Amino acid sequence: MSPDVQADEGLATAVLEIERHAAEAGWDQPARLFALVETAQLAEREPQLADTLGETSLTPIEQEGLAAGRPLEDQLTAITWPETVHGCAALVERVVLPPDVEAELPEEPARAASYAAEHPDRQEVRIVAAATRTGASYCAMRLRAHDDDTSVLTGPDLVPGLLDLVRATLDEPGALASGEDGPDE
């Protein structure tokens, strides 16, 4: 087990909870974003929820308001969180190709997406990438071709590019106009 996971078991638990929740809903889902709040603080602020929160140290709260048709990665660059949010998790589905095929990708984004979608060696994956203000990170990745809970890949840095975008949302705590635990765009 990596030091990051040992340092923040709550983050790993939250990521796997998000991934299992998404798996129950099936494939072909839109991107989703989650605030990760400390469960004890949430129970203190919202006592009526205390009995439903469970024993985990972090509670994922799904956010609404993502723009449909716009890549989540683009939207993350405009999001900041208030200090009450301990971390952030992003869930996306993507088509990935083997590294040796990437050199063959067309430059134009629409043609590259079409090429990847039709390539015989493509893999469809669901990724959950999360980070906390304390610097911990954790990811889960499920391949559509191996769609069972025992085949989910996990680790602290499986998707570095997406993790960098998630971490950046935590850099500058913002004040929210639309709710205490949601993203500020």
Could you tell me if 39 and 56 are in contact, meaning their C-beta atoms sit under 8 angstroms apart? yes
Amino acid of residue 6: Q
Number of domains the chain contains: 1
Phi, psi of 82 (to 5 degrees): -70, 165
Q: By C-alpha distance, which of 76, 46, 10 is closest to 180?
A: 46
- State the pLDDT at residue 174: 44
> Is pLDDT larger for residue 103 or for residue 47?
103
- State the pLDDT at residue 108: 87
pLDDT tens digits, residue range 46-82?
767 766 666 778 999 999 988 888 889 999 999 999 9
What are the start-end ranges of the E strands in 39-119?
58-62, 87-96
Q: How far is Cα 183 from Cα 178, in angstroms, rounded to an integer? A: 8
- State the pLDDT at residue 54: 67
- State the pLDDT at residue 181: 46
Q: Has residue 173 been placed in a domain? A: no
Q: Has residue 149 been placed in a domain? A: yes
Provide the residue range defining the domain that includes 26: 3-168
- State the pLDDT at residue 52: 67
- State the pLDDT at residue 3: 43
- State the pLDDT at residue 113: 82
- CA distances to 113, 153, 161, 181 from 94, rounded to whole Å, are 10, 15, 13, 27
Q: Has residue 100 been placed in a domain? A: yes
Q: Has residue 176 been placed in a domain? A: no
